[in-house]
Structure 1
Amino acid sequence: MSEQFFERHQALLEQAMAAAALRGYWSPFAESPSPRHYGETANDDGRAAFEALRGKPFPLDLPGAEGSVGGEASPYGFELGITYPRVPAAKLVAASSKALEKWRRAGPRAWVGVSMEILSRLNKLSFEIAYAVQHTTGQGFMMAFQAGGPHAQDRGFEAVTYAWQEMSRIPGISVWEKPQGKNDPIRMEKHFTVVPRGVALVIGCSTFPTWNGYPGLFASLATGNTVIVKPHPGAILPLAITVKVAREVLAEAGFDPNVVLLAAHASGDDTAQQLALDPAVKIVDFTGSSANGNWLEDNARQALVYTEKAGVNQVIIDSASDLKGVARNLAFSLALYSGQMCTAPQNIYVPRDGIQTPEGRVSFDEVAGALAAALEKTTADAARAVELTGAIQNEGVVERIEKARALGLPVLADSKPLVHPQFENARVRTPLLLSAQAGNPAIGQEWFGPIAFVVATDSTEHSIQLARDSVIRHGALSLSAYTTDDAVAERIQDAAEVSGVSLSLNLTGAVFVNQTAAFSDFHGTGANPAANAALSDSAFVANRFRVVQTRKHV
């Protein structure tokens, strides 16, 4: 059956390989929730499926379960009431190791075929997953559908594509023949076997459980590793649905479903540490805080550790041909999912003597005022704004807003609560925009959430220097810049390349610095402290397998 899965999706895989080479626009899954793509009843069916899961045990049978765990609460103001089987870390690793025995021998076509079939079935459940993502992360529904569904599946398929490319470079068998002059040549037959590293661990985050989780999950699975998926305790459901589908496909293909396992646990326990330090765990994928990511890099020494951590994302404004367009684009970027994105901008550098526009010189205060006005306009209509801002994932972000307000910096746009028309208890806040001077220690740290600073600098060169040094020191996943001067653009690009951060220039339309597209944009570079890997490139997958050869005289 796994061979049939490969053949079923082979044409799509070939398209994906071509897309990865060209880096243009391509997606295997439709991002529009239109009935034309998913069926007339898909939304209603997905909502009903989500509601049917609430208030009861999640339908997942795992070996060695000892009781259950739950406690997820929607940021929109209600408890999910779902419980999941709790399996001790040692039993998860034992079951995963046993499942590896047959899975390892199946080979690349089986691994990739099963992975593509899982992704195909997840796509059909995109609405159910969307509601699960919305009510665990707080994303607005459209973002939850796109980022939690098709875009996450795109990233998973991208990882599978790179895995297949790298593994398919290895021939299964070759004949080596070395001439010996007048004597018969030396001939050897050589067999090359792709072998997985072993047990892989995916540590999920609370804000983008599928989008950030699928690359590592499918990169490991498609290279023959078994995978233990450990969700964040606040966002278990989206990954539980994923694991359930994966286990169903594995069983149909004739494999032990324990090739993929769920490690649900209570908040504050040491399940992640136990799993990460187990000698059998050979790969760890992590998204989350720098403290936890650094701990994994320092301590999980038996494993390959791929991390995406915190960073300080920045914007340089040198000059603008359309200041209103700049302000609208940045306001949208700041408000999108209330800044709870690893790519969301935080520090906006503006020379204190202002910037050049077609209308003449515009002062720092005028630029800051334009940004504040655009932000206020973006969030003025609560009914519309909440679809953009979503809800705050956890109370710690709200506390961070208060901590930032207490810095005593001039407030350009204050954070305020919004009433959600559908969920009256939703935890919704608009962004807080503050004015700061370069050198203020507050701008040298990440303020995760709807918090940003317009920073007065000595000059554009000073802004570039600040941005470059901050990326090198603190890391960043995005850098955005606005300039009408080609020479300045070149200097900014050089600074981005030196510091190792992805750069977006002059975004004023419908593309925002927060967003990256699979098969075209590399998410992260692995070249600064915010991440040690990129989603997805060859380096992200190639070391998840090794090649063992057997040779003999013929």
Structure 2
Amino acid sequence: MSTDFFKAHQDVLEQAVAAAATRGYWSPFSESPSPRVYGETANDEGRAAFEGYKGKDFPLALDGAQGSVDGEVSPYGFELGIRYPRLSVPALIEQSQRALESWRAAGPQAWVGVSLEILKRVNQRSFEMAYAVQHTTGQGFMMAFQAGGPHAQDRGLEAVAYAWQEMARIPGLVSWEKPQGKHDPIKMQKRFTVVPRGISLLIGCSTFPTWNGYPGMFASLATGNTLIVKPHPSVILPLAITVKIAREVLAEAGFDPNVVLLAAHLAGDDTAQQLALDPAVKLIDFTGSSANGNWLEQNARQAQVYTEKAGVNQVIIDSVDDFKSVARNLAFSFALYSGQMCTAPQNIYVPREGIKTADGHMSFDDVAAGLAQAVEKLVSDPARAVEITGAIQNTGVVQRIGEARALGLSVLCDSQAIEHPQFQGARIATPLLLKADAADAVIMREWFGPIVFVVATDSTDDSIKLARDTVVEHGALTLAAYTIDDAVAREVEKAAERAGVSLSLNLTGGVFVNQTAAFSDFHGTGANPAANAALSDTAYVANRFRVVQTRWHA
């Protein structure tokens, strides 16, 4: 490499490894869009870059491209019209295999150094990425900037740190000597070489393409695998920008840029299936529906498959000090990005006899009404509400709201379509809250979107049992509980551990159950059906490489 990227970023890498060990707060990428951090012109330049892509060929040169792919429509009501080069599956596989030869030989320091440089350059273009994420996923601008930018970059760096830590455990050349009593010892030299698995396939999602995509992308790249990035057909731009930056860094470092390739394709074709089943693909990262995730796990048998799928996230309310603070916190969680988060709460369990509060007893109906009122207050100002709710990514979510409304359950708070003050055609929907019973079968499935069930249970013990059994059977990425009883808190924690789901207790301030922080919170556990891996831990990276040894007599 003309530039030693590993040496240039070694200090940040060491800090990242230390942060992952201590699990405290740390980030090298500022989540503040302040001009003091990113520069006075960064926002204008990012917006201009995004506008410059619209209606044109995306500036990405791929050898052997056969035509182009387009079709992205902003959830805020306009077509992007961006055209991306399209490669056939055989061409993608052939080019990726060819690029693997020199990339494989470069070794861990080169792999990690290039990965860190890519992350640095992606961070420098966080405003451009924010507009790309906003107008493909429907996230509000601030969420698009933070979750699509610095927070996603944190998750990518976290994966690189874990990868480096695991590879660094493997020595290079060692001398081995076995005593033989009165005879001369047996002496050998042994060389241990870290080798990649092969081609890695990233199957992007439509809601958090970078946040969910970067962990697998950088875990594979940092362990020496080549990468084929297959974005969701309706959300291509954020990952296309990332691929373009990655290819520029690879070329500067003297590598074949085809180490990273973009597999843009039309909705409804079988590109994902063809790639996933190709014998050369050895790693697959997927975020999306349980049906597609299960298919990959069952059919892509030649590959190590990492999946994050659907689940039923739940909240147990037993007792509270300040119900209004609880209601405000939960209302924000219900409304944030219109519930289009894999961590968003859906089922809220409340004993049918009510709960204890610092101000006295609250009936079930009072609790349900209080949650509904908190949501209504939160979304009462449309200009403020749209920054929280963002826009609905696809029409299927809107249809699902209608399906839930038609269940015949009592409506506590109806979903409203509100106008966006900037984007007249934006698809906006506020949360729908429904009153349900623990016996209602409809609560035993994921209702992805701004749909919440306030569920009457026989007791807190029944709420805990229901939550535990639901996680075991259907999966979940989050569980939350509110209680002022230490014994109840211990029982909930025990249930969470047995079911294999992350637990949040008594959140009332500026932290919400939907959110997790890189280097501190594990996203998912891999211990229930909602995901077979955690972002990020040792298991997430260690199986992406192998160790091959050579030994000889000294």
Task: Please state if 1:184 is matched with 2:184.
Answer: yes
Aligned 8 A contact 1:71 1:234 in 2: yes
Matches of 2:2 and 2:421, distance apart in 1: 47
Tell me which residue corresponds to 1:459: 459
Tell me which residue corresponds to 1:262: 262
Tell me which residue corresponds to 2:120: 120
Tell me which residue corresponds to 1:18: 18
Tell me which residue corresponds to 1:86: 86
Tell me which residue corresponds to 2:541: 541
Whichever residue aligns with residue 486 of structure 2, its letter is D
The count of residues paired between Structure 1 and Structure 2 equals: 554
Alignment of 1:324-363 (within 5 A): 324-363=324-363
Cα deviation, 1:363-387, whole Å, max 9, x if unaligned, reads 0000001100000000000000000
Aligned 8 A contact 1:476 1:530 in 2: yes
Aligned 8 A contact 1:2 1:114 in 2: no
Matches of 1:391 and 1:292, distance apart in 2: 24
Tell me which residue corresponds to 1:416: 416
Task: Please state if 1:111 is matched with 2:101.
Answer: no
Tell me which residue corresponds to 2:509: 509
Matches of 1:217 and 1:505, distance apart in 2: 32
Cα deviation, residue 2, structure 1:
7.0
Tell me which residue corresponds to 1:223: 223
Tell me which residue corresponds to 1:4: 4
Tell me which residue corresponds to 1:252: 252
Cα deviation, residue 90, structure 1:
1.2
Matches of 2:64 and 2:92, distance apart in 1: 8
Matches of 1:236 and 1:145, distance apart in 2: 17
Matches of 1:7 and 1:176, distance apart in 2: 30
Cα deviation, 1:329-362, whole Å, max 9, x if unaligned, reads 0000000000000000000000000000011110
1:293 to 1:437, Cα distance in 2 relative to 1, 3 A: same
The 3-state SS of whatever aligns with 1:392 is coil
Matches of 1:56 and 1:266, distance apart in 2: 17
Matches of 1:145 and 1:386, distance apart in 2: 15
The 3-state SS of whatever aligns with 1:286 is strand
Tell me which residue corresponds to 2:312: 312
Tell me which residue corresponds to 1:382: 382
Aligned 8 A contact 1:350 1:456 in 2: yes
The 3-state SS of whatever aligns with 1:210 is coil
Percent sequence identity over matched residues? Answer: 77
Aligned 8 A contact 1:209 1:238 in 2: yes
The 3-state SS of whatever aligns with 1:212 is coil
Tell me which residue corresponds to 1:96: 96
Cα deviation, residue 418, structure 1:
0.8
Matches of 1:64 and 1:485, distance apart in 2: 65
Whichever residue aligns with residue 270 of structure 1, its letter is D
The 3-state SS of whatever aligns with 1:59 is coil
Alignment of 1:488-503 (within 5 A): 488-503=488-503
Tell me which residue corresponds to 1:147: 147
Tell me which residue corresponds to 2:553: 553
Cα deviation, residue 414, structure 1:
0.2
Task: Please state if 1:63 is matched with 2:63.
Answer: yes
Tell me which residue corresponds to 1:530: 530
Whichever residue aligns with residue 52 of structure 1, its letter is G
Matches of 1:307 and 1:469, distance apart in 2: 21
Aligned 8 A contact 1:193 1:548 in 2: yes
Whichever residue aligns with residue 21 of structure 1, its letter is A
Whichever residue aligns with residue 513 of structure 1, its letter is V
Aligned 8 A contact 1:57 1:82 in 2: yes
The 3-state SS of whatever aligns with 1:211 is coil
Matches of 2:63 and 2:156, distance apart in 1: 26
Tell me which residue corresponds to 2:368: 368
Cα deviation, residue 36, structure 1:
1.0
Tell me which residue corresponds to 1:171: 171
Cα deviation, 1:518-551, whole Å, max 9, x if unaligned, reads 0000000000000000000000000000000000
RMSD over aligned CA atoms reads 0.5
Cα deviation, residue 3, structure 1:
6.3
Whichever residue aligns with residue 174 of structure 2, its letter is S
Matches of 2:167 and 2:359, distance apart in 1: 57
Stretch of structure 1 that moved more, 65-74 or 2-11: 2-11
Aligned 8 A contact 1:2 1:109 in 2: no
Matches of 2:192 and 2:171, distance apart in 1: 7
Tell me which residue corresponds to 1:285: 285
Whichever residue aligns with residue 56 of structure 1, its letter is K
Aligned 8 A contact 1:2 1:113 in 2: no
TM-score by length of 1: 1.00
Stretch of structure 1 that moved more, 57-66 or 240-249: 57-66
Task: Please state if 1:161 is matched with 2:154.
Answer: no
Runs of 4+ aligned residues of structure 1 deviating over 4 Å after TM superposition are none
- For structure 1, the residue ranges without an aligned partner over 5 or more in a row are none
Matches of 1:234 and 1:551, distance apart in 2: 51
